[in-house]
Amino acid sequence: MPGTLTTAEKIRRLPWLLWADLFNSVCALLTVFGSVFVLFLSALGIDKTRIGFILSLLPFCGLVAPFIASTVARIGFRRIFLLFWTGRKLMLALLLLTGVVHTRWGVTASFWWVTGIVFGFALCRAIAETGYYPWIQQIVPNSIRGRFMAFENTVILVASMMVMGAASYILDHVEGLHGFLILIGAGVVSGFACVACYTFLPGGEPVAPNRDEVPALTQMIGAVNDRDFRRFMVSLGVTSFALAFLTPFVPLYLKDEVGLTEGNIVLLTLCSNLSGLVFSFPWGWSSDRFGSKPVMLTGLAMIMLLPVLWFLLPQKSVWSLPVTAIVSFWGGAAWIGWSTGWTRYLFVNAIKEEQSAAYTAVYYSWMGLVNGIGPLLAGRFLDLCSGIHARYLFFNLSAYSAQFGLGLLLLIAGFILLRRIRSDSAVTARSFVGMLVRGRPLAAVESLVRHSLAKDETTRIATTRRMAESRNPLSHDELIASLEDPSFNVRYEAIASIARTTPDPKLTQALLQVLQGSESELCVAAAWALGRLKESTAIEPLREALSSNESTLRAAAARGLAGLQDADSVPRLLQGLSAAEPAAERIAYASALGSLRAGECLETLLLLLNQTRDVTARSELALAVARIVGGEGDYMRLWRGARVDRNTALAHALYALKRNLRAVEGQNSGLETQLEDWAAAFGRGDIVAGSEFIGGFLRSPLARQFADRVTTILEFCVATSCDSANAGDELLILALHVIGEALRRVRRSGPQKQHS
């Protein structure tokens, strides 16, 4: 029974499922599915309407599923599947006699011979797959379904590339029907190997009859009445019909209109398989991580471009094959994304496991109907439009052009319907696509792979940093997981890395949990990081952290609130500044108030600057004062210049004041002459003589137009410069910056008193 299989037991048997599906895919490619079979039917001389009829038999037979679902469940999913899966391989073996039938009795007899074989094959397939889907749903755990599908697709695609490469060679070098019959024979052998592998899989036991059990028909009616399932089936049906209408005759379009040989057409499968090989694991991983719906919609959006690209292919040109190969590569990536998304959504979200037989019967019959109508109508449509041959501008118009246009409209309708189905994650298709283009997605994927393989602490720290540097949301979950790493250093690096990456509410929430944790060092780092992320949801927790018993956390919270530009916190920061005792905490409060341009604390900041001796701390306090005045960029430019060559930087700063001074006082300003002397003094290294510029500006009539805060700062600089113990370069830099800002404002506002 399904309940007797543990997840560990299921995973242990998955290699047999992998081998079985691998052999089955090879069989399908070389027999009745794929471009080989369509080209085989065309080589027999069968017209497009009849080809469409033959192809429609495969899905149409799926309509038997609702009528046999209860019987299949009672006999056993596994038993029925193996019996009829073997039967369908026996039917395929009869295709090997098609050459004899064609030679002796002609095209019509060949058509009916192939039709009978395909009908028998399709009927066995429909009965077998009625048991297959409930059985496989038991075997593959939902937690790894997306990743297993991705790995399985990768293996199958590698094998398919090898098989189709060989098939292309055979069709190019073996004339007539013999090449096709060789491929069909190889497919039949692979099919029997597939059946042998399936016999090693567990599960799928008979479901014992239960008198209290709801009848099968009632269960299927219940499945149809399931609103979410019904909406998904309608949406999937429209999209599947569009694809069934579009894709079966593409090989004939490439042969008739584009001018490719049969071998080249089969060879194009290598391009689509190579694309699937590259993108299979990313699609599967994404569906497990971000949900089925965004992956499904993204893949379908890519498929919607295919009809346009097919229409634009260069026809009967040297560029036909390479351009078609590029389009096939795009189509392979799109198709694997679409199939991974909708298949996972079907098994994980749409089908209820306790009623899987009824749900899969409805699904299988519905898909059989729409997928059968698609090629049937497409073949007839192409024959009816066969008279279309025209040229418009640079484009050749034919029956295939009309088919592509109609198919595109159907795909758009399917996309609109699929957008409305129930989401299985918080990630939308738009945000998922944004993840693929934001920052450096390839670097994010690389760092994720490296992080999953990292073992020692040093490597985990390095990969955590690389994930943040990619600035891509794909790595956000791993960054959050690193916050719980057993190593303290990795956790600390994770906080710093989150602060460097793109903001995300999930990251903010994770940092808030760290902020409220018990590790004081990490709490401090989290408070700092929250200020960098600019998320308003962090404001209230940071305000609460101002009441912490830890002075370092209070200081970090103050800096964080300043980073978030929380002006409403100014009163609490002023209160904290007056109550703080550790010098580092007071400087943190002062710096935060400066960032918030809280002019009411100016005198307190100047007093603290006068009391501070540490050079770095004085520089930070001077910057806080400069921020209150404004023009932080100009201040930092002057500060950097003074670190390289103090005298030259101060002299140039004074010379730079001349333009604004001349605009305010005119050409014959007395201050301008003095400014030349002060600048020359700085240039000679005479700091005492040069620093007289502060008093000179204060004594000039121009000072009456300065704001009160400017005058306060300049008076402080004059008073402090007289005390050699407290004098420093930061005061000269601050004074020059303040005067420069004041002159610019006087110039802009005219000769009236600036606002304080």
Q: Are residues 422 and 464 in the same domain?
A: no
Q: Are residues 587 and 731 in the same domain?
A: no
User: Residue 587: its pLDDT value, please?
Assistant: 92
The pLDDT tens digits for 592-623 are: 999 998 888 888 899 998 888 888 898 999 99
State percent of the chain over pLDDT 70.
Answer: 95
How far apart CA 606 and CA 596 sit, in angstroms, is 16
The CATH code of the domain that includes 585 is 1.25.10.10
Q: State the average pLDDT over residues 38-65.
A: 86
Out of 99-103, 133-137, 383-387, give the one with best mean pLDDT.
Answer: 99-103
> Is residue 397 over pLDDT 70?
yes
User: Residue 725: its pLDDT value, please?
Assistant: 43
- Among the listed ranges 328-332, 550-554, 719-723, which one has the minimum average pLDDT value? 719-723
For residues 625, 629, 633 and 638, what is the CA-based torsion angle, rounded to 10 degrees? Answer: -70
User: Residue 349: its pLDDT value, please?
Assistant: 85
How far apart CA 586 and CA 605 sit, in angstroms, is 10
- Among the listed ranges 8-17, 250-259, 616-625, which one has the minimum average pLDDT value? 8-17
Whether 620 is in a domain gets the answer no
Q: State the average pLDDT over residues 369-398.
A: 84
Number of H helices, E strands in the chain: 37, 2
> 539: pLDDT confidence band, cut at 50, 70 and 90?
very high
Q: Are residues 76 and 186 in the same domain?
A: yes
> Is residue 753 over pLDDT 60?
no
Whether 650 is in a domain gets the answer yes
Structure tokens belonging to residue 129: 């797959």
Angle among Cα 151, 152, 153 to the nearest 5 degrees reads: 90
Structure tokens belonging to residue 389: 């041959």
Whether 589 is in a domain gets the answer yes
Whether 607 is in a domain gets the answer no
Q: Are residues 536 and 475 in the same domain?
A: yes
Q: Residue ranges of the alpha helices (H) in 291-319?
A: 292-303, 306-311
| Terminal C-alpha separation, the chain | 82
> 38: pLDDT confidence band, cut at 50, 70 and 90?
confident
> Is residue 279 over pLDDT 70?
yes
> Is residue 15 over pLDDT 50?
yes
Helix (H) or strand (E) holding 289: helix 262-290
What are 395's strand-pairing partners? 392
Single residue among 434, 451, 480 that ends a domain in this structure: 434
- Among the listed ranges 103-117, 333-347, 441-455, 526-540, which one has the minimum average pLDDT value? 441-455
Helices 708-721 & 729-749 angle (0-180, nearest 10):
160
Whether 609 is in a domain gets the answer no
Whether 618 is in a domain gets the answer no
User: Residue 216: its pLDDT value, please?
Assistant: 64
Number of domains in the chain: 3
- Please spell the DSSP secondary structure of 439-490, one letter per residue: S-HHHHHHHHHHHHH--SHHHHHHHHHHHHHTT-GGGHHHHHHHTT-SSHHH
How far apart CA 513 and CA 528 sit, in angstroms, is 14
> Is residue 212 over pLDDT 60?
no
The pLDDT tens digits for 551-570 are: 999 999 999 999 999 999 99
Q: Are residues 165 and 285 in the same domain?
A: yes
* Among candidate residues 443, 413, 418, 442, the one with its CA nearest the CA of residue 428: 418
The pLDDT tens digits for 561-597 are: 999 999 999 999 998 888 887 888 899 999 999 999 8
Tokens 């799928």 sit on residue: 204
Confirm if 82 and 405 have CB atoms less than 8 A apart: no
| Residue 336 or 426, more confident | 336
User: Residue 682: its pLDDT value, please?
Assistant: 82
Q: Say which residues have a Cβ less than 8 Å from residue 708's Cβ, sequence separation at least 6.
A: 756
Q: State the average pLDDT over residues 43-64.
A: 86
> Is residue 726 over pLDDT 50?
no
Q: Are residues 591 and 679 in the same domain?
A: no
Q: Are residues 143 and 26 in the same domain?
A: yes
How far apart CA 633 and CA 639 sit, in angstroms, is 10
Single residue among 406, 434, 462 that ends a domain in this structure: 434
Q: What domain range includes position 495?
A: 435-600
- Among the listed ranges 334-343, 488-497, 573-582, 665-674, which one has the minimum average pLDDT value? 665-674
> 322: pLDDT confidence band, cut at 50, 70 and 90?
very high
Q: Are residues 514 and 656 in the same domain?
A: no
Whether 301 is in a domain gets the answer yes
Single residue among 391, 411, 434 that ends a domain in this structure: 434
User: Residue 9: its pLDDT value, please?
Assistant: 77
The pLDDT tens digits for 143-176 are: 677 678 778 877 887 888 888 888 888 988 888 8
How far apart CA 467 and CA 448 sit, in angstroms, is 7
User: Residue 494: its pLDDT value, please?
Assistant: 93
The CATH code of the domain that includes 164 is 1.20.1250.20
> Is residue 2 over pLDDT 60?
no
Q: Are residues 657 and 558 in the same domain?
A: no
The pLDDT tens digits for 439-463 are: 888 788 788 888 888 888 999 999 9
Q: Are residues 573 and 666 in the same domain?
A: no
Which three-class secondary structure string do you get for 406-427?
HHHHHHHHHHHHHHCCCCCCCC
State percent of the chain over pLDDT 90.
Answer: 31
Q: State the average pLDDT over residues 188-204.
A: 89
Q: Are residues 589 and 650 in the same domain?
A: no
Structure tokens belonging to residue 573: 């920061």
Tokens 């400087």 sit on residue: 587
How far apart CA 331 and CA 269 sit, in angstroms, is 10
> Is residue 666 over pLDDT 80?
no
How far apart CA 588 and CA 571 sit, in angstroms, is 15
Q: Are residues 182 and 304 in the same domain?
A: yes
> Is residue 407 over pLDDT 90?
yes
How far apart CA 249 and CA 378 sit, in angstroms, is 8
> Is residue 1 over pLDDT 50?
no
Whether 617 is in a domain gets the answer no
* 3-class secondary-structure state, position 397: strand
> Is residue 92 over pLDDT 60?
yes
* 3-class secondary-structure state, position 629: helix
> Is residue 363 over pLDDT 60?
yes
> 4: pLDDT confidence band, cut at 50, 70 and 90?
low
- Please spell the DSSP secondary structure of 537-574, one letter per residue: GGHHHHHHHTT-S-HHHHHHHHHHHHHTT-GGGHHHHH
User: Residue 514: its pLDDT value, please?
Assistant: 93
> 302: pLDDT confidence band, cut at 50, 70 and 90?
very high
The pLDDT tens digits for 464-481 are: 999 988 888 888 888 999
